[in-house]
């Protein structure tokens, strides 16, 4: 069935407004499919070097590596090497204050290392509604393009 040109035009506009990019759609699907859990995650395998990762920074407490599905020219994940109950930010307790500060400070260090002099964004997704898919606390560091607001 063919649509009159005006209807076809409206549909195209609707599609443009409503459609998600494949990357956005798969991230959302991954977050909704993930079960919040304190079991091991893929990040444990990266920490133990059981699977490859593009590591850009490491110290005794923190590891930073490039996201496998980058949402910006620079997209790096910053994680505590020892999760210590921090499956997500919502599980943070007073005892985590030091590592939380360390993660944020590392984001700044890595941003500088990556040459993000003009700015960057950090993101922490929490829980299914927040779009979290890996239950090991991580900061997303995004940069290298102009960011939009609000995020999706």
Residues labelled as active-site residues: 138
Instruction: State the residues that interact with ligand AMP by CB under 6 A.
Output: 27, 31, 42, 53, 65, 67-69, 77, 125, 131-134
> In 19-151, where does DSSP find H-type helix?
22-33, 42-47, 97-113, 127-130
d(C-alpha 12, C-alpha 32), whole Å: 28
68: alpha, beta or left, given left = phi > 0 and alpha = psi -120 to 50? Answer: alpha
> In 48-134, where does DSSP find H-type helix?
97-113, 127-130
C-alpha 145 chain-centroid distance: 16
As measured in angstroms, the least distance from the Cβ of 122 to ligand AMP is 12
Q: Which is nearer to ligand AMP, 99 or 142 (CB)?
A: 142
As measured in angstroms, the least distance from the Cβ of 63 to ligand AMP is 11
If we measure between CA atoms, which residue out of 131, 109, 137 comes closest to residue 43? 137
Q: Which is nearer to ligand AMP, 61 or 67 (CB)?
A: 67
As measured in angstroms, the least distance from the Cβ of 130 to ligand AMP is 8
If we measure between CA atoms, which residue out of 135, 47, 124, 54 comes closest to residue 87? 135
Q: Which is nearer to ligand AMP, 106 or 125 (CB)?
A: 125
Q: Which is nearer to ligand AMP, 116 or 131 (CB)?
A: 131
As measured in angstroms, the least distance from the Cβ of 131 to ligand AMP is 5
Pairing of strands 121-123, 62-66: unpaired
């Amino acid at each position: 069935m063919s649509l009159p040109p005006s209807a076809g035009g409206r549909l195209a506009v609707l599609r443009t407004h409503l459609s998600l990019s494949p990357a956005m759609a798969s991230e959302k699907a991954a977050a909704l499919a993930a079960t919040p859990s304190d079991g091991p995650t893929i990040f444990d395998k990266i920490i133990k070097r059981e699977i490859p990762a593009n590591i850009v920074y490491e110290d005794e407490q923190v590891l930073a590596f490039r996201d496998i599905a980058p949402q910006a020219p620079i997209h790096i994940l910053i994680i505590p090497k020892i999760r210590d109950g921090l499956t997500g930010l919502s599980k943070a307790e007073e005892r985590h204050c030091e590592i939380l500060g360390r993660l944020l400070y590392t984001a700044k260090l890595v941003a500088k290392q990556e040459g993000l002099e003009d700015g960057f964004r950090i993101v922490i997704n929490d829980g299914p509604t927040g779009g979290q898919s890996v239950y090991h606390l991580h900061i997303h560091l995004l940069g290298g393009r102009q960011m939009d607001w609000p995020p999706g």
